[in-house]
Amino acid sequence: MAMTVLLGWRIRGWLGVFLSMFGLLLPSVSITIMLAAFYTSVREQPLVQQALQGIIPATVGLGFLLVLRLARPILKESKQEGPRSLATSIILLVSSGTVFALFHPPVMVLLWICGGIGAYMVWRNLR
Amino acid sequence: MIEPFTYFWLLLGASLFSTGGTGNLPTLHQELIERGWANEQDFVESLAIGQIGPGPSGLWVIGLGYLTYGLLGALMATLAICIPALVVLLVNMLYRRIGAHPATAGFIRGIGLAIIGMATVIYFTLLLNAGITLHNILMLLAAMLLGSLKQVPIIVILLLAGVAGILISGG
């Protein structure tokens, strides 16, 4: 979506932004709302509840796959930078998840801390 | 009872600090569940709707808006994900000044890793909520396997999972 905004801006300024957002979102948002509305109307049907027995774990599986796909390029880049960078990335990944699971801190705080550590480590490596 | 202003503010705040896709999942999961405005089922169902629906992957939040607060919730969610996309213009200008500094890349990487770590925990929570049973684990692994073969559309995977769910439940 951000890419669409940038492209729209570069092509025709604010009009480009408006038109590109409109073109991207109108069909997809309308269909998503219709899907959600349809789902809400059939949510309590026994057949849908049975289907959910398969859809829920499959959705979680697709979520795990997404997480792996997001993590892979970051870890690969860190590995290319050297063992210290890779170790930092793995520690940030594991510790953010662990702290989030055990202590339930505000997400924004955790994001700023991890972002700060990431920035500090890169800055320190350059010195 | 959902307070509309707070609800919108949470959606907007989560999306502002999101790196796209499900980047807003950790914040929304924490805030909405804490307030009792959504449950685990709402999250997993809206993620499924987001997977099936067309367009950017971040649209899952519109499904969440609809399931938790009806059409108004869906419209609020749409607005909440549009505003950060406009902020990107500002970020783009700022990025021209500080983007070249390696620490900026380090900062973004740190945020990305934190989101991945938290999202993993949330997916585990959703799995725990569904139950760690043999059939759930098999279904999860099958979806991961099919999803990794990029030729199989997500909607087909979820349809197959739905049929399997009906067959397993004896429907």
SS (HEC) of chain B: CCCHHHHHHHHHHHHHCCCCCCCCHHHHHHHHHHHCCCCHHHHHHHHHHHHHCCCCHHHHHHHHHHHHHHHHHHHHHHHHHHHHHHHHHHHHHHHHHHCCCHHHHHHHHHHHHHHHHHHHHHHHHHHHHHCCCHHHHHHHHHHHHHHHCCCCCHHHHHHHHHHHHHHHCCC
Q: Tell me if B25 sits within 8 A of A63, measured CB to CB.
A: no
User: Quick check: A1 pLDDT over 80?
Assistant: no
B102:A108 CB<8 A: no
Q: Model confidence over B128-161: pLDDT tens digits?
A: 999 999 999 999 999 999 999 878 898 999 999 9
B169:A5 CB<8 A: no
A119:B107 CB<8 A: yes
* Between B79 and B54, the higher pLDDT residue: B79
A107/B contact by beta carbon, under 8 A = yes
Mutate to test the interface with B, among A7, A34, A107 (most CBs of B within 10 A): A107
A74/B contact by beta carbon, under 8 A = yes
A1:B119 CB<8 A: no
Q: Which chain A residues are closer than 8 Å to B43 by Cβ?
A: none
Q: Tell me if B4 sits within 8 A of B76, measured CB to CB.
A: yes
Report ipTM (2 d.p.). 0.86
Question: Binning pLDDT at 50, 70 and 90, where does residue B98 land?
Answer: low
Q: Give pLDDT, residue B100.
A: 67
User: What is the mean predicted confidence (pLDDT) over A116-123?
Assistant: 88
Nearest CA in chain A to B138: A57
A81/B contact by beta carbon, under 8 A = no
Both structure tokens of A112: 């700023």
Question: Binning pLDDT at 50, 70 and 90, where does residue B19 land?
Answer: low
Q: Give pLDDT, residue B99.
A: 63
What is this structure's pTM?
0.85
A65:B52 CB<8 A: no
User: Quick check: B20 pLDDT over 70?
Assistant: no
Angular region, B21: left φ>0, alpha ψ -120 to 50, beta rest: left
B143:A67 CB<8 A: no
Q: Model confidence over A75-91: pLDDT tens digits?
A: 999 999 889 889 999 99
Q: Model confidence over A36-74: pLDDT tens digits?
A: 999 999 999 999 999 999 999 999 999 999 999 999 999
Question: Binning pLDDT at 50, 70 and 90, where does residue B171 land?
Answer: low
The angle at the Cα of A33, spanning B72 to B167, to the nearest 5 degrees, equals 125
Q: Give pLDDT, residue B89.
A: 78
User: Quick check: B42 pLDDT over 80?
Assistant: yes
User: Quick check: B29 pLDDT over 90?
Assistant: yes
Rounded distance between C-alpha atoms, residue B165 and residue B171, angstroms: 9
Mean pLDDT rounded to a whole number for chain A: 90
User: What is the mean predicted confidence (pLDDT) over B103-124?
Assistant: 91
Tell me how close the Cα of A83 comes to any Cα of chain B, in angstroms: 16
